[in-house]
Structure 1
Amino acid sequence: MTNDVVLVDAQDVQIGVCAKRDAHLGTGQLHRAFSVHLVDSRGRHLLQRRAAGKMLWSGFWSNACCSHPAPDETILTAASRRLREELGVSASCHALYSFEYHACFGSIGAEHELCHVLVARSDAAVSPAIDEVSEIKWQTRAEISAQLLDSHAQFTPWFRMQWGRLLSEHPSFDTPSRHV
């Protein structure tokens, strides 16, 4: 796959393509991204600790999978692809909502993304790619919510931003399912 990201305007219309690293330098350039919340049949969410080699927010906890679609790749195709690549999980993703955010990581760089938030369900065994993920854990919604109350807990800013909206606008997104 290409190492390019899709630059977009505030309406998610493509306005260009650039190298992924360049899109994250300085204050960042607005680009298309996605964030997948993986839920098992018991209603638990997979959290991942970002690998030490990540340029931004290494070692921070986040949702199951975050990445960028390649140029000419749909969000859903890219999300399913990255779940397989990062976690070894095959699962269909379903779109929930999109939002724009901007978060700086000191002087190293920034995320400026139009992020598509997705959910996928699976009970498959997880096999994390060590260059992407240093640790995983399955937690309930209540456990995650309690940890997020601590402003010093090391969670990625996009995960913090998504969690409250998921709970308020999509309360059944983690409801245990009999068919996964």
Structure 2
Amino acid sequence: MSTHRRVSFDDEPLILVDADDQIIGYQHKAQAHAGEGTLHRAFSIFLFNPQGQVLLQQRSDSKPLWPLFWSNSCCSHPRRGESYADATHRRLNDELAVDTELEFIYQFEYHAKYQADARDIGSERELCSVYIGRIDDSQRIDVNPSEIAACRWLSGPDTDALLKEQPDQITPWFAMEWRRLREEFPDRLERLLR
């Protein structure tokens, strides 16, 4: 079934947290990303196929931050009252029309300002949980164009090359997460990545 519907809203409530992931409040998504940003919960998912390739997505041109940049398979935010598990599975369905078992790898805090040398557009300031998973060849991806402009499968070495050769076309969180996955968790990726 197609997921071609709008699934992100400026007024959706994000979960504000401290550095220990303790909830300290809620704020509309647009407000949480304004200026220097407000620390909030987020997640990133890396999906792999049986051939050991990772799915990358090019963000929609309608995204206010990092439009048309290449990023990991799926990323978003839990909403108020939503667990990480519920949020990750909801978003896989919303963006790609797939679902699979996910494995939590690590959580980290980062801040990235969009177009820091230009006008003040906004920032990501997230406490982000990183997950990996596998989808098999029977699962057909149906991208939601309100979220994704394009998708492609890349091998691990080709993904490494993309980050090295086109860093200005990659979202900052994707670059940070991929490098850390490769450097610190090679055993966790070994069964997924070739």
Please give the TM-score of this superposition, normalised by the length of structure 2: 0.87
Letter of the 2:97 counterpart? G
Q: Residues 119-146 of structure 1, C-alpha deviation per residue, up to 9 Å, x if partnerless? A: 1110221100000000000001100001
Q: Determine the structure 1 residue equivalent to 2:4.
A: none
CA gap 1:45/1:137 in 2 versus in 1, 3 angstroms = same
Distance apart, 1:153 and its partner CA: 4.0
Counterparts of 1:173 and 1:59 in 2: how far apart (Å)?
A: 29
Root mean square deviation of aligned Cα: 1.5
Distance apart, 1:7 and its partner CA: 0.2
Q: Determine the structure 2 residue equivalent to 1:121.
A: 134
Q: Determine the structure 1 residue equivalent to 2:177.
A: 162
Residue 63 of structure 1 pairs with residue 72 of structure 2: yes
Letter of the 2:122 counterpart? G
Letter of the 2:160 counterpart? S
Distance apart, 1:90 and its partner CA: 1.3
Q: Determine the structure 2 residue equivalent to 1:108.
A: 121
For structure 2, the 5+ residue unaligned runs are: 1-6
Counterparts of 2:25 and 2:168 in 1: how far apart (Å)?
A: 36
Counterparts of 1:15 and 1:105 in 2: how far apart (Å)?
A: 25
Counterparts of 1:73 and 1:27 in 2: how far apart (Å)?
A: 25
Q: How does 1:1-180 map to 2 (within 5 A)?
A: 3-106=12-115, 107-123=120-136, 124-150=139-165, 152-176=167-191
Counterparts of 1:60 and 1:112 in 2: how far apart (Å)?
A: 18
Distance apart, 1:172 and its partner CA: 3.5
Counterparts of 2:41 and 2:133 in 1: how far apart (Å)?
A: 19
Is the 8 Å Cα contact of residues 181 and 189 (structure 2) preserved in structure 1? no
Q: Residues 25-59 of structure 1, C-alpha deviation per residue, up to 9 Å, x if partnerless? A: 01000000000001111111000000000010000
> Where does structure 1 differ by over 2 angstroms across 4 or more consecutive aligned residues?
150-153, 172-177
Please give the TM-score of this superposition, normalised by the length of structure 1: 0.94
Letter of the 2:100 counterpart? A
Distance apart, 1:149 and its partner CA: 1.1
Is the 8 Å Cα contact of residues 92 and 121 (structure 1) preserved in structure 2? yes
Counterparts of 1:169 and 1:67 in 2: how far apart (Å)?
A: 23
